[in-house]
Amino acid sequence: MTSTSNPVLFRIEWCRRQRTKAHVGPEHEGWRAEEEGLRDALLNRDHTSEYRHAAPGMLERYVLGFQDGQALIRAAWFDLN
């Protein structure tokens, strides 16, 4: 399955491109956290607790990616059935 046919992989790649554009700082770290949330949803693991003590906004970005990833997986599953 290519990244364009899997919405989670497509979104992970999009986050990577956005992170590259951001270069450094909070925006860069936010894209990284969102990407990790998407990847964790895909791999069925949850690292929310590890982000509780991260820089401000990182927990929210991780959770955004994680929840979006789960929703994309559910939507893809329903499309197959």
pLDDT per residue over 15-50, tens digit each?
A: 999 999 998 899 999 999 999 999 999 999 999 999
For residue 1, being part of any structural domain is answered with no
- Look up residue 3 and give its DSSP letter: T
The domain tally of the chain equals: 1
- Whether residue 2 is contained in a domain is answered as no
Distance from C-alpha of 39 to C-alpha of 36, rounded to nearest angstrom: 5
Query: In degrees, to the nearest 5, what angle opens at C-alpha 2 toward C-alphas 23 and 78?
Result: 105
**DSSP conformation letters of 37-59:** HHHHHHTT---HHHHTTSSTTHH
Residue 31 CB-density burial (10 A; 0-12 exposed, 13-18 middle, 19+ buried): buried
What was the pLDDT predicted at 6? 87
**Structural domain for 32, as ranges:** 7-80
